[in-house]
Structures are given as structure tokens and as C-alpha cells.
Structure 1
């Protein structure tokens, strides 16, 4: 049973792919570029994001 993969970027079918789930390095790089340039977003509520933000107090490093 030989299953082919469907590339999520270019939608080409390939019987095997070194860069699964992508058909090529180019498509893998396109996907990475979209993540790095905020082309993709993971949705969440504002309150979830607020928990990760610092309180505004400066951090004391102890090497002053």
C-alpha cells in the first residue's frame, strides 16, 4: 500500500517526500517563512496572552 502525501503549500501529490508533510524543501521553506512573518496565527483569547506579559517592573539582575 503506497500512500502519497498532499503538500499543504502547493497541493501536489508525491509518493514519497523527504520533507514531510511538504513535497520539497522549497515548500517547507515557504511554510517556515509564513510562520516567521506572522502569516499564520494561533488564535486565543486576550486574557491568555496577558498572563505571559511582564508586570512592567524592571528585573533586578544583581550585577549592578
Structure 2
């Protein structure tokens, strides 16, 4: 099997381990978890005013 067909760890790029899939190690798995918990991942979007919906409901 060539190294090109082995999926890589999304954190460091090393070949991933079946035990820690999709990561290569516990360290990379934990780094990903910390990134999620620290709001490191986000979907790009326009900021929304927190009262935008309630102001619209009051006008009706």
C-alpha cells in the first residue's frame, strides 16, 4: 500500500491510526477537542443583531 492512499490526520498531516481515527494519536484527538471547546471552529456568517427577530415581532 502506498503512503498516498493512507488518510492523513487533520491536525498534523501524519498517517492516521485506526485506534484514534481520524487522528494519528491521542494528542491530536485532544487538540481537536480543545479547539471545539474554545470555539475554534465556526461557520462564517454575517453578524446577527440579538434583538432583530423581537423588533420585527413587535411591529406586527
**Band the TM-score falls in, shorter-chain normalisation:** 0.5 to 0.7
Length-normalised TM-score, structure 1 = 0.56
Question: 4+ runs of 1 displaced by more than 6 Å?
Answer: none
Give the 3-state SS of the residue equivalent to 1:29 in structure 2.
Answer: helix
- Following superposition, the deviation at residue 17 of structure 1 comes to 2.4
TM-score (norm 2): 0.59
**Counterpart Cα distance in 2 of 1:20 and 1:35:** 17
Q: CA RMSD in A?
A: 3.0
- Matched residues, number: 52
| Structure 1: segments with no counterpart, 5+ residues | 56-64
Q: Are 2:33 and 1:24 equivalent residues in the alignment?
A: no
Corresponding residue of 1:58: none
Query: Which ranges of structure 2 fall in alignment gaps of 5 or more residues?
Result: 55-60
